[in-house]
Every structure is written in structure tokens, then in C-alpha cells.
Amino acid sequence: MWLLPPLASEHTGRKCLVLDLDETLVHSSFKIIPNPDFIVPVEIDNQYHNVYVLKRPGVDEFMRKMGEIYEIVVFTASLSKYADPVLDMLDIHKVVTHRLFRESCFNHKGTYVKDLSQLGRDLTQTLILDNSPASYIFHTSNAVPVSTWFSDPHDTELTDLVAFLEDLTGVDDVTLILDSTIDPGLPT
């Protein structure tokens, strides 16, 4: 059984872009952050706790542009009770087609791994944008590594990736490009 339903007709011919959530698109904290972009109440053990969320610079425009050219899947190792409300507020352009959470990850030696082979998409047409190399350890040739983001207001990584990701929509097999241009063992 695949993690995703069959490709919707409006995404025919599009590649699948899998996006990590935490420290890739947003940074969240239970501690008060000055000027959060939004605050999400999360229930833990019958008590509500506020989660303070900062959006990575450029994320709104990045999501809008990627949503025009890719099937967008957010795949997070976080729990849905936290990640779902965050995505409700983050996805202002309504481009996220599918959401996958911790229960869809594979527990490999105590690490939550995102097994792209379980998505039901052609791996030559699937790429993952993630700050944690451990989460895509099974599919390093599908990965576009990004730096871990906490709060740098001058970060431009998402904006800088747009042209590269636009170019990838035109290649026959993303693994041939990603495998040869990015060494997953090195920080970017």
C-alpha cells in the first residue's frame, strides 16, 4: 500500500517535490519567540501548549512557485497534531497536495527516515528538500540538501533554490543530476 494516492490529473507530467517542515520551511519552539509569524496551540497530555513558529525567509513565494510546477508533498517526522495546524497556517497558497507525518516514517536505528520508495511515485521523478541527511539516508540521489534554519532573517536559501528546482522539472531523471552535483556527505 502506497503512502500517497494515485497522481491527480492536474499533476500529470509533474515531478513530486517532497518538502521537510521543521528547520527547512519553519522553525518552531515551545519557548516564547519574539515576533513569531504565528502561534499554534498543541494538545499534549490533555494540556494545551503554545508553539511559536517562525517562517523561513522567502517560504511563501517559494511555496507558490513550486506549487505551480510540482506535486507538493510535505513529509515531516513531526506528529500530525503539531504539523497539521502549522501547515494550515503556512500553506497560504494551498499548494500542498499531501501531508505525511511521523507515522509514515521508517524507524531506522532510532532515526525517522522518509522512505521515498513508499510514496507510490517514480523515484526518477521525485526529489526531497530536507535539512537532515539522516531522514533521506535511503535516497541520497533524490535529495536537495538545505541548511538547518532557526531564525536568520537574512537567509536566502529557499529563494536561491528556485531556479535550480525550476530547471529540474525539465530533466528525465532527477537522480542523475542530484547524485552528480550534490555530495550528501558534505554540508551545504
- Tally Cβ neighbours within 10 Å of residue 184: 16
- Local structure of 90: helix, strand or coil: helix
Catalytic residue (one of 22, 88, 152, 183): 22
Concatenating the DSSP letter of every residue in 115-140 gives -GGGSSS-GGGEEEEES-GGGGGGGG
Please give the DSSP secondary-structure letter assigned to residue 22: B
Nearest-CA neighbor of 99 among 123, 82, 124, 122?
82
Concatenating the DSSP letter of every residue in 51-71 gives EEEEEPTTHHHHHHHHHHHEE
- Local structure of 101: helix, strand or coil: coil
**Is 20 assigned a catalytic role?**
yes
Which residues are CB-neighbours of 62 under 8 A, at least 6 positions away?
A: 158, 159, 161, 162
Positions marked catalytic:
20, 22
